[in-house]
Amino acid sequence: MRPAPPLVLTVTHETACRYAQPVALSRQLLHLSPRRLPWQEPVSHAIDITPAPAESSSGHDYFGNPVTHAVISTPHRELSIVAQSSLLMHDRHADFDSRASPGVAALAAAIAAPRGPAALDAARFSFESPHVGLDPAVQAYAAESLSPGAPLLEALLDLNRRIHRDFEFDPSATSVSTPLADVMAQRRGVCQDFAHLMIGCLRAFGLSARYVSGYILTHPPEGQARLVGSDASHAWVSVYCPPAAGDGAAWIDLDPTNDCLAGSGHVTLGWGRDFSDVTPTRGVILGGGDQELSVRVTVAPAHEAAPAGGAPTHAGYAAAG
């Protein structure tokens, strides 16, 4: 089958923070630059910060994600960070269904005793992390999908489907610090919660799963224009799933919020053990007092792209995460 032509996407991520008192000094760590991947080619990228930083640098974190460090020394009561990207997105899982994959128990045993650099790299994503503990309730929930002899891909798709079915998307139900136990009890949350839940399920059975931070292309209702700023950051799960033979570094990305494999509409910023490793913005400030934070994200095909600072955010259709 001939692969689909690449999708050209633009992403605008606008962060505004207003402070009750002047900020004398601000140090910011930003995960706002898309990774370069076999299925994702950044064409252009820029980050604009106001007030202008006195110092800034770019590099990579422990997981290989691109990061930007900025120091703002101009006293300010408002901080604006606008990241704009253009990308070529390819079909990433076009050949996955045709590949053999190990069973759940066989892969867990291989991760417990990794051989080769790919398996060793994957093993670090099989342990507890700050937002994903090994919870008995999570393990019990996962057991229905992750029976020891189940083919891995079949088990992953079943778990992905069950989380989508059993948990309701509710932006008011949780915060960034809501523990998995609460998500399990109330069966509500957002994409971050569902990604953490799926990761907890997989790690409970010895599998390697990482948290992926990024964006997803959403679609307005038929006949309506795309709303500038109405999208949101998104999160999903990447699972180590090598071919049955060899030490391949294959990972498969699943989106439990939308019950799908991540495709050409999923833009990857970075990955880590959980949300705490890849927060889009994280800062330390001197002064400021109370803060008011607002975030606007627009993901669109290139021919529909709108400039930053356009129409205000609306609630005309639901964001994915």
In tens, the pLDDT along 140-199 reads 999 999 998 888 889 999 999 999 999 999 999 998 889 999 999 999 999 999 999 999
265 in the same domain as 116: yes
| Count of domains for the chain | 2
Asked if residue 230 belongs to a domain, the reply is yes
**Could you tell me the two tokens for 211?**
């948290």
**Hey, which residues does 59 pair with through a beta bridge?**
67
297 in the same domain as 268: no
Q: pLDDT tens digits, residue range 259-279?
A: 999 999 999 999 999 999 999
Asked if residue 256 belongs to a domain, the reply is yes
49 in the same domain as 143: no
207 in the same domain as 106: yes
172 in the same domain as 273: yes
pLDDT above 80 (res 306): no
CA distances to 70, 141, 218 from 283, rounded to whole Å, are: 9, 36, 29
User: What is residue 194's predicted lDDT score, i.e. its pLDDT?
Assistant: 97
Asked if residue 191 belongs to a domain, the reply is yes
Share of the chain above pLDDT 90, in %: 71
Q: What are phi and psi of 179, to 5 degrees?
A: -75, 160
285 in the same domain as 205: no
271 in the same domain as 288: no
Q: pLDDT tens digits, residue range 51-106?
A: 999 999 999 999 999 999 999 999 999 999 999 999 999 988 655 543 456 788 88
Going by their DSSP bridges, the two strands 76-89 and 40-50 should be labelled as antiparallel
Asked if residue 63 belongs to a domain, the reply is yes
228 in the same domain as 121: yes
Asked if residue 285 belongs to a domain, the reply is yes
252 in the same domain as 175: yes
118 in the same domain as 76: no
Note whether 96 and 24 are within 8 A (CB): no
User: What is residue 309's predicted lDDT score, i.e. its pLDDT?
Assistant: 46
Least confident of 11-25, 191-205, 218-232: 218-232
139 in the same domain as 62: no
183 in the same domain as 112: yes
Asked if residue 14 belongs to a domain, the reply is yes
Asked if residue 189 belongs to a domain, the reply is yes
- Residue-range definition of the domain harbouring residue 38: 7-90+278-304
Q: What are phi and psi of 255, to 5 degrees?
A: -115, 95
